[in-house]
Amino acid sequence: MILSVSRRTDIPNYYSDWFFHRIKEGFVYVRNPMNPHQVSKIDISPKVVDCIVFWTKNPEPMIGRLDELSAYQYYFQFTLTGYGQDMECNVPHKKEIMIPIFQKLSEKIGKDKVVWRYDPIIFTKVYTPEYHIKAFEQIAGALNGYTNKCVISFVDTYAKNQKNMKAVNAYDMDGPALKEFCKTLSGIAGKNKMAIGSCAESMDLSDCGIEHNCCIDKKLIEDITGYKIKVGKDKNQRPECGCVESVDIGTYNTCKNGCKYCYANHSQESVVKNCSKYDLNSPLLCGALTEEDKVNERKVTSLKEKQVSLFD
């Protein structure tokens, strides 16, 4: 099993104590987002978890405790953009705080286990293409030698972020201009010894030097674990998404980063309400079981290939 921690909320930043407690206990409860009274009990012991994929804008709360994950393999998807707190309300200053944290994490676990995400890219009167190019170049230069890969994407409008995108007057670039923009980013990444990929983008950017990326990446996981895994494409993601199957243990409407473009929070009020239910000792993130809940044990196993080909 590949454990996703988490697309739905920033567990490393806000709920790392809960996560480490769940690791100690060896299991977690997760509500079905489509059917909240359906709860899965999931074994997260090392015998079934092949790799953990962390998603975060700030892993600092975890860095001092990573030795507690010595029985696990893992890597981080670390989002680091050029936005200010007008767009990412609760993310600390990038140059003064977040870049040094990225460097510190990379030095501790290795640059192959920290993927830099510059996403989503949003164009506004403030965050123009020129602004993004300058910010991208500055961050890439600071991360030269601290990561092997950068991932970009362009903002998608959902019901949950539509109002905010209108409020910041976000706009789209036309095809040729967007291609030139992407070529520029690709050149900057290459100059700083990074491969660059796109996340869940339908457009082909291969002529810009940008590959279709898999954020939950079979090859990277095999490189980190040292063995082949048998896993298919994640059918629960968009068709453009190249990720393989994983089990996400996060909860929607619990991320406190306050990003304007967020798709995982319905409203600030819903975040405040759910976060008030946070209990370090609960198997559920920001919640507790009720009489209406039905708990079922989800069958999970290691994805390690049992037979090895003669050609491996």
pLDDT tens column, 243-277: 999 999 999 999 999 999 998 898 999 999 999 99
Return the residue matching tokens 């991208």. Answer: 136
Q: With pLDDT > 90 as the criterion, what percentage of the chain qualifies? A: 83
Residue 310: the pLDDT is 53
Distance of CA 271 to the CA centre of its chain: 19
Domain assignment of residue 259, yes or no: yes
Q: How confident is the prediction for the chain on average, in pLDDT?
A: 94
CA 306, CA 269: separation in Å to the nearest integer?
Answer: 48
Domain assignment of residue 124, yes or no: yes
DSSP result, 161-207: THHHHHHTT-BPPPHHHHHHHHHHHHHHHHHTT-EEEESS--S--GG
Domain assignment of residue 304, yes or no: no
Residue 290: which pLDDT band, with cuts at 50, 70 and 90? Answer: very high
pLDDT, tens digit, 9 for 90 and up, residues 164-173: 888 889 999 9
Return the residue matching tokens 């490189």. Answer: 223
* Half-sphere CA count of 83, side-chain side, radius 13 A: 25
User: Is residue 151 within a helix (H) or strand (E), and if so which, with residue range?
Assistant: strand 149-154
The full 3-state SS of 26-92, as one line of letters, equals: CEEEEEECCEEEEEEEEECCCCCCCEEEEEECCCHHHHCCHHHHCCCCEEEEEECCCCCCCCECCCC
Q: With pLDDT > 70 as the criterion, what percentage of the chain qualifies? A: 97
Q: Which of 107, 104, 21, 123 is nearest to 58 (CA)?
A: 104
Q: Which of 110, 111, 46, 124 is nearest to 82 (CA)?
A: 124
pTM of the model: 0.94
Domain assignment of residue 274, yes or no: yes
- Domain span at 205: 2-297
Domain assignment of residue 311, yes or no: no
Residue 309: the pLDDT is 56
Name 283's Cβ contacts closer than 8 Å, sequence gap at least 6: 22, 25, 27, 28, 29, 41
CA 200, CA 212: separation in Å to the nearest integer?
Answer: 8
Domain assignment of residue 303, yes or no: no
Q: What is the mean pLDDT of residues 140-160?
A: 90
Q: What is the mean pLDDT of residues 197-212?
A: 88
pLDDT, tens digit, 9 for 90 and up, residues 74-119: 999 999 999 999 999 999 999 999 999 999 999 999 999 999 999 9
Domain assignment of residue 229, yes or no: yes
Compute the Cα dihedral for 174, 237, 151, 9 and give only its sign.
Answer: positive
Q: Three-state DSSP class for 100?
A: helix
- Residue 240 predicted with pLDDT over 80: no
What single-letter DSSP state applies at residue 311? Answer: T
CA 216, CA 160: separation in Å to the nearest integer?
Answer: 24
Compute the Cα dihedral for 83, 89, 94, 96 and give only its sign.
Answer: positive
Q: What share of the chain is helix, strand, coil (3-state, %, to 5)?
A: 30, 20, 45
Q: Three-state DSSP class for 10?
A: coil
Domain count, the chain: 1
Q: What angle do CA 92, 78, 19 make, to 5 degrees?
A: 90
Residue 2: which pLDDT band, with cuts at 50, 70 and 90? Answer: very high
Domain assignment of residue 291, yes or no: yes
